[in-house]
Amino acid sequence: MAVRPKHVYFDDDGAVHPLSHTRLTRALDGNLREPIAELSGRRARLLTLYVLFEDRVPIEVVCVEPAILTFDPDGCRNQADTAREMKAAVAQLGPARRPDSSSNLIPAAARFEAAAFTWTPTKAQIEAAIAAHRLRSC
């Protein structure tokens, strides 16, 4: 058994486009920088389906992971947004307030910053992503 990622991105009109893992990984890699021309200069909603395979046969979708990625004019991941996304993710891991603070208020700036890089897909969008990869419905 193995779990493999399957990726799709959504156009502004909701159309679903499959994207190979290798192609996406190369566009996201700051050193390789192999562009995805159709995503040049765009902010794209991506959905990763983690699919369980047994003997190369897809069994089920075990997890879905939505993300919003910004691509530079060349079609590679916008490096400034990558840094902002990592900073926001790390800020959510640590204590949300100072230990010496007597206030019960928790600053939410990190949550709002991280929210800029994710979205919540509908069941119809997940089903469309599954169909785009010709997998069975979950």
Band (94; pLDDT cuts 50, 70, 90): low
- How many other CB atoms sit within 10 Å of the CB of residue 87? 12
Task: Sketch the domain layout of the chain as residue ranges.
Answer: 2-78+118-132
Q: pLDDT-derived band of residue 100, with 50, 70 and 90 as boundaries?
A: low
Phi, psi (degrees; rounded to nearest 5) at 28: -80, -25
Beta bridge pairs of residue 88: none
Residue in the block written with tokens 């156009």: 11
- The order of strands in the sheet holding 16-19 is 16-19, 2-10, 43-54, 57-70
pLDDT tens-digit readout, 55-92: 999 999 999 999 999 999 999 998 888 888 788 777 76
Element spanning 50, H or E: strand 43-54
pLDDT for 87 equals: 80
pLDDT of residue 117: 80
Q: Are 34 and 27 in contact (CB under 8 A)?
A: yes
